[in-house]
Structure 1
Amino acid sequence: MIEVIERMKRKDPYEKEFHQAVEEVFGTVRPVLERYPDYRRSAILERLIEPERLIQFRITWLDDAGQVHVNRGYRIQMNGAIGPYKGGLRFHPSVNLSILKFLAFEQVFKNALTTLPMGGGKGGSDFDPKGKSDTEIMRFCQAFMMELFRHVGPDTDVPAGDIGVGAREIGYLFGMYRKLRNEFTGVLTGKSLGWGGSLIRPEATGYGNVYFASEMLATRSDTLAGKTCLVSGSGNVAQYTVEKLIDLGAKVVSMSDSSGFVYDEAGIDREKLAFVKRLKNVRRGRIREYADKYPNAVYTEADPQLDFNPLWDRPAQCAFPSATQNEISGKDAQNLLRNGVFLVSEGANMPSTPDAIDIFLANNVLYAPGKASNAGGVAVSGLEMSQNSMRLSWPREEVDSRLKTIMKSIHKTCLDAAAEYGKPGNYLIGANIAGFVKVVNAMIDQGIV
């Protein structure tokens, strides 16, 4: 295993995020490899870290002033052993191969945990939607799809949204796909309700994360009612994490964006959350405006010179990192513990550094890795695919009920796998082993391909 990781680092020395994701998974599955030596003889590790297909392309588009711009586009089809590739498209200046490979790698095991037949993939562009007009975003999405359409389809690869890609972008992407292919198929998820989208899809990642946290607390005969919760982010995942926490009687005291964070000791109620939704989804403003609207809240500007994030240095019992990768460092983890946090449930992908994870596990924190706790989004994307295939739409209650059932099943799967390998209560090991075994068994069944 060490040789595989070292060889990977030599071949792609600059892909730090991808290396981190691989080391985290491979570091926990050693007992599986010892139990099943056939896995090593089949070069499973080497096959898992190489994308089945990696597509990179140029995107050329015109802004409103007639200026030509060039961006890079990507689609990584990581592993399709258990179904069509499934994973989001991210439009953000930080997008590069390392980040997309880490996300695609995580997606493989996350999708396996949902019990739905979906492989893992990811894609996107270094295009920044911020500050762009709707017409500019439409032109970019159309140019992006003019290349991507060759590589996706309802039985091949079904992208979804991610950071920078919401219902607006999905609409523009789908419109061009439909024109180019002359067909109306479920090639994208996250669509608007009027033309194939699923109820609960926007809420699914945040809701699912809270459902998973509730299951963890239930193992200690506890609930979220009355708990003070720290939430990072203010996008889709964070908004619906806050909404469901309010539903279950918790008090949320923070939200953030790349500019900084707000701390509202009185709690973010439904009225304040509605303001954040309008601010972010309609006006596309900055979270600092929350403190202007509600003067009792304190806004703290992001300071890149600090070696910790002050958001995680506030009194609370539960933390829901829902912004981006590696947002909780080892020092942040220590601050969380010192302030009384005993549950961390990840809404973002890989938001905790390895040092932070080690601290959580060493201190008996209920720690849910993102591949388990934020799987609700892709789970409901899978349900959207099913509805599209059957040409029907399930009511909200049915989709929410299925989401709850899936999250409960993922929770049990993680606990069972951890217990089977002698690590009871360790959700990180349980999630990694359960997802790994399902994918690897499918790969072996299908031969050397």
Structure 2
Amino acid sequence: MATLQSLLEDIKKRNKGESEFHQAVEEVFASLEPVIEKYPEYLESGLLERFCEPERQIMFRVPWIDDKGQARLNRGFRVQFSSAIGPYKGGLRFHPSVYLEIIKFLAFEQTFKNSLTGLPIGAGKGGSDFDPKGKSDSEIMKFCQSFMTELYRHIGDSVDVPAGDIGVGSREIGYLYGQYKRIRNEFESGVLTGKGIAYGGSLVRKEATGYGLIYFVDEMLRDNGHVMEGKRIAISGSGNVALYACAKAQELGAKVVAMSDSNGYLHDENGLDINLLIRIKEVGRGRINEYLEFYKNATYVEKPEDVWSVPCDIALPCAVQNEIGLREAQMLLDNGCIAIGEGANMPTTNEAISLLIEKGVLLAPAKAANAGGVATSALEMSQNDMRLKWSFEKVDNMLKEIMVDIYNSAKFAALEYGLDKNYVAGANIAGFMRVAQAMKEQGVV
């Protein structure tokens, strides 16, 4: 008879060398042990095996011409992982680190995240090894047009709805949508989310992942006898998620004392000026060390020093996967950290997760805590379908309600299986159960 362990070994053999995907599946399987004990048919019927296999993986070449007239080549990817509860939905990432296996693990994680929102969206992920940094607007436009010339065959507002991710903001989404519209000869606004407000984008979408992260962490803190007000926060990363998590945390009375980028971290014990950081990063497309030109008492500490060496009550990893290992987890414990909210995808290793939960740290897992972006993307799809535009306040209130519901789903799923305060397990269980039920009812497809 098949066991979870034997299935895990089979998955690793079938997906050789895909360490991030192995890690993601391993974490989920550890959470699902009590579920399989109660419902062995999910394993015996082969449903769990199908759950871990993407429905479709697409890889294509993306040729384009740079400003010097030179032909350039990149690879494009789209992994359509699960359509059990809705059209594939998930971001596009443009970064030199992108390859098929990274996209695959992100799409697997997206399956749980999208399920947890309670909205009718399946899961996918895509991107390219193209690097927008250092490229002109003209070069980015030409790349995006070439990328969409292939991708358009595989997407549609009832098929697959991409959005932005690392390296893909409103500029890139605009170029992608313009080419899609040109090829299709129709204004199918619901095919991409994260669009500009002028042509079907939703208010709050830019802020949504960061805001949603704080709404989840705030609910988790209050449910465990803490408050956000007065807490010191350290954040890794200084992109969209980090900036708006910082903004919302400060709005709720917390003090963000550190934020990092790829070269080091910015530290100001008096609290960072988020409005200045947004101007530096979003308006000027600058680096966070430019902050020192305005605040002389702040410091910028270059790598290999780590942002997690700054004493904090709450840590928000918002940079990349596996940025918190055992070493970093111990640093956070030594510095008095009581809660972690994962803004990036899978930023904490499985070993570090085990240590942090064992030590009583409240851990808000990425697949639950950073679901605000995709939740608001789904709200954008709804507005596009109805030809409506909702106010900032309405979308923000809906986002907060969704994040509180996600927290409660993770909380009560964990409680049901005797895993109180283990929100990692709770999120995995709650996300799995909704998709698994849909798969069961739809047959072997």
State the TM-score bracket (shorter-chain normalisation).
Answer: over 0.9
Q: Which residue of 2 aligns with 1:148?
A: 151
Q: Secondary structure at the match of 2:31?
A: coil
Q: Which residue of 1 aligns with 2:366?
A: 370
Runs of 4+ in 1 over 6 A off after TM superposition: none
1:262-273 aligned within 5 A: 262-268=266-272, 272-273=273-274
Q: Which residue of 1 aligns with 2:222?
A: 218
C-alpha contact 1:259 1:286 (8 A) present in aligned 2: no
1:14-413 aligned within 5 A: 14-185=17-188, 186-268=190-272, 272-303=273-304, 310-413=306-409
Q: Distance in 2 between matches of 1:112 and 1:283?
A: 36
Q: Secondary structure at the match of 1:336?
A: helix
Q: Secondary structure at the match of 1:405?
A: helix
Alpha-carbon displacement from aligned partner over 1:251-288 (angstroms, at most 9, x marks no partner): 001111112211111111xxx32222222223322222
Q: CA deviation at 1:135?
A: 0.5
Q: Distance in 2 between matches of 1:3 and 1:143?
A: 43
Pick from 417, 421, 425 the counterpart of residue 421 of structure 2.
425
- Please say if 1:13 is aligned against 2:16: yes
C-alpha contact 2:21 2:105 (8 A) present in aligned 1: yes
Instruction: Look up the equivalent residue of 2:428 and give its one-letter code.
Output: N
After TM superposition, the structure 1 stretch with the greater mean CA deviation from structure 2, 313-322 or 150-159, is 313-322
For structure 1, which runs of at least 5 residues remain unmatched after alignment? 304-308
C-alpha contact 1:254 1:263 (8 A) present in aligned 2: yes
After TM superposition, the structure 1 stretch with the greater mean CA deviation from structure 2, 96-105 or 132-141, is 96-105
Instruction: Look up the equivalent residue of 2:439 and give its one-letter code.
Output: M
For structure 2, which runs of at least 5 residues remain unmatched after alignment? none
C-alpha contact 1:206 1:374 (8 A) present in aligned 2: yes
TM-score if structure 2 supplies the norm length? 0.97
Q: Distance in 2 between matches of 1:222 and 1:275?
A: 29
Q: Distance in 2 between matches of 1:132 and 1:163?
A: 15
C-alpha contact 1:260 1:287 (8 A) present in aligned 2: no
Q: CA deviation at 1:34?
A: 1.4
Alpha-carbon displacement from aligned partner over 1:4-63 (angstroms, at most 9, x marks no partner): 222222222221111111111111101111111221122122212211010000000011
TM-score if structure 1 supplies the norm length? 0.97
Give percent identity, aligned residues only. 58
Q: CA deviation at 1:88?
A: 0.1
Q: Distance in 2 between matches of 1:302 and 1:325?
A: 18
Instruction: Look up the equivalent residue of 1:250 and give its one-letter code.
Output: A
C-alpha contact 1:15 1:97 (8 A) present in aligned 2: no
Q: Distance in 1 between matches of 2:393 and 2:289?
A: 35
C-alpha contact 2:43 2:49 (8 A) present in aligned 1: no
Alpha-carbon displacement from aligned partner over 1:332-352 (angstroms, at most 9, x marks no partner): 111101111000011111111
After TM superposition, the structure 1 stretch with the greater mean CA deviation from structure 2, 257-266 or 133-142, is 257-266
How many residue pairs get matched? Answer: 441
Instruction: Look up the equivalent residue of 2:200 and give its one-letter code.
Output: G
